Amino acid sequence: MDKSLIPVILAGGKGERFWPLSRKYRPKQFLSLDGSGKSLLQSTADRLSKLAGDAEKLWVVTSASMAQGVREQLPQLPEKHLLAEPEGRDTAPAVAWAALEIARTYGEDAIVGFFPADHWIEDQQAFQATLEAATQLASAEDSIVTLGITPSHPSTGYGYIEQGEKLGNLEGLPIYKVSRFTEKPNRETAESFLATGRFSWNSGMFIFRAEVILAELRTHAPEIMGLLEEQGVAAYPQLPKKSIDYALMEKTELSYVLPASFGWDDLGDWNALERLLKGDAPNVELANHVGIDTEGAILYSSSEDEVIVTLGLEDVVVVRDGNATLIVKKDRTQEIKQVLQKLKSNPKLDNFL
């Protein structure tokens, strides 16, 4: 791996669709969900530190409320490499602030990679090869390189990237200009995307030189860059809430995509456990479970002193954690956020969040 790669983990998300296990004091990235015994944040940090060749180069952007938790999970992280946002403003301000700090530390020619904290990667070697290709491209060209995931099915839960002109190959991987980004489509549109063979899932992973991203943000998101360059982190209360896709990637002419297949999941909700862990078993059981005529269920308990008993259930998620229990049909897990809004609106229940 090119030693100039500076990996940045975006660790400010809440992971609300993993409630009740994921809560305000224990967000998804602090959980162990893949059977490794390590939290998602720790697994991501290990993976990126090895690829960068130096754990001292790792940076993390998180919220002020989660900063202490990050320090506890990653005690090896240099103190100045933990950027704690006073308010959540989505990914564009996070990327801009981190790029500014890294440019000041390493110089504007530093190659920076941004990675969500909660992804699962199966094939580490293929992931490394993809990052090597992306790093080479970012070093050689004024480019913002995104990793596109080869779709396995017409998902409506991911954004899509359409491949434009093919520009060659690096490390055996094709390189394309990005034709367009599309937010989460409906089923019919997703099926039409896959039929063309020109679309990848948007992984949310980006690699670029610091000077390139800063120049593009100054052009396309001056309302963010102007305040940050003038005031630093003190500007956060005035910053707009924008994703990096909306603020920049949908506007820049410098975006490239490397379609890749290294076994990937964004662990978006409880159904991800079925994709990772089910195998040939009738259910995913991360609990003491006694079931009769139960199939296609995902069962989780945070306590070894409890038992979950089911009778005649199909395709449900049952989660027991402390003082809260979730029971939901698997095809409605995306609606968990709506339930949490009801909890937030009730003063008697918001302590369960």
Per-residue pLDDT of the chain in tens (353 residues, 90 and over written 9): 444 789 999 999 888 999 999 998 899 999 988 767 899 999 999 999 988 777 789 999 999 999 999 999 999 999 999 999 999 999 999 999 999 999 999 999 999 999 999 999 999 999 999 999 999 999 999 999 999 999 989 988 889 999 999 999 988 899 999 999 998 899 999 999 999 999 999 999 999 999 999 999 999 999 999 999 999 999 999 999 999 999 999 999 999 999 988 999 999 899 999 998 988 899 999 999 999 999 999 999 999 999 999 999 999 999 999 999 999 999 999 899 999 999 999 999 988 99
Token couple for 27: 């967000």
| The pLDDT value given to residue 53 | 75
Domain ranges of the chain: 5-265, 272-352
Q: Which residues pair with 234 in a beta bridge?
A: none
Encoded amino acid at 25, one letter:
Y
| The pLDDT value given to residue 52 | 76
Token couple for 322: 């402390």
Q: In whole angstroms, give the CA distance from residue 41 to residue 8.
A: 12
Cα-Cα-Cα-Cα torsion 16, 17, 22, 28, nearest 10 degrees, comes to -90
Q: In whole angstroms, give the CA distance from residue 238 to residue 33.
A: 36
260: nearest Cα among 120, 118, 154, 131: 131
259: nearest Cα among 177, 195, 182: 177
Q: Are the C-beta atoms of 54 and 3 separated by less than 8 Å?
A: yes
**Three-state DSSP state, 350:** helix
| The pLDDT value given to residue 51 | 80
Per DSSP, the chain holds a count of helices (H) and strands (E) of 10, 17
| pTM of the full structure | 0.93
| The pLDDT value given to residue 148 | 95
CATH code 3.40.1190.20 for 5-265: no
